Amino acid sequence: MGLTFVLGAATGVEWGDMLFYAVLFVVLLALIKHYAWGPVTDMMEKRATKIANDLDSAEEARKNAEQVEEQRVSALKDSHAEASQIIERARKNGEQQKTTIVADAHGEAQALKDTAKQDIERERQDALEGVKNDVAELSLEIASKVISKNLQMNDQKALIDSYIEGLGKQNEVK
């Protein structure tokens, strides 16, 4: 303490002023603590709380964004899988339709061939019946002429040839 007195004496400071300044400083500190320190610390606490809440909100928003991203990726994978399934079903349906169309076409072609064969066979049978009838009629005519005339052998041959030629002309007309 001796040193401070010496410094105080050397500078010409009076102890009364020092004491006054010290008391004034303590009073000023008490006033600041009473009126300003509470609001400043409250403001600092509120700010710290707000910052902590903002950090919590930011963390929650980040987590929500990650969840949304995961859902989006999952939905995208699901849509790709669904699109693949749709394409596969369409391909299978196309193959089935192709097989059905080809089978139907083969069936229709076979039915047409069978119908054509039946028509040809019927026409052939009709033609044979017609020829049989013509031959029968011709035979009857020849027989009746032979019976009605007592022909010589040469006359019979000439008569048969003329009927055969007449038959050829009849077929040409039909």
Q: What is the 3-state secondary structure (H, E, C) of the chain?
A: CHHHHHHHHHHCCCHHHHHHHHHHHHHHHHHHHHHHHHHHHHHHHHHHHHHHHHHHHHHHHHHHHHHHHHHHHHHHHHHHHHHHHHHHHHHHHHHHHHHHHHHHHHHHHHHHHHHHHHHHHHHHHHHHHHHHHHHHHHHHHHHHHHHHCCCCHHHHHHHHHHHHHHHHHHHHHC
Sequence ranges of the domains in the chain: 1-35
pLDDT digit string, tens, across residues 95-124? 999 999 999 999 999 999 999 999 999 998
| pLDDT level of residue 173 (50, 70, 90 thresholds) | low
Q: Using a cut of 0.95, tell me whether the model's pTM lies above it.
A: no
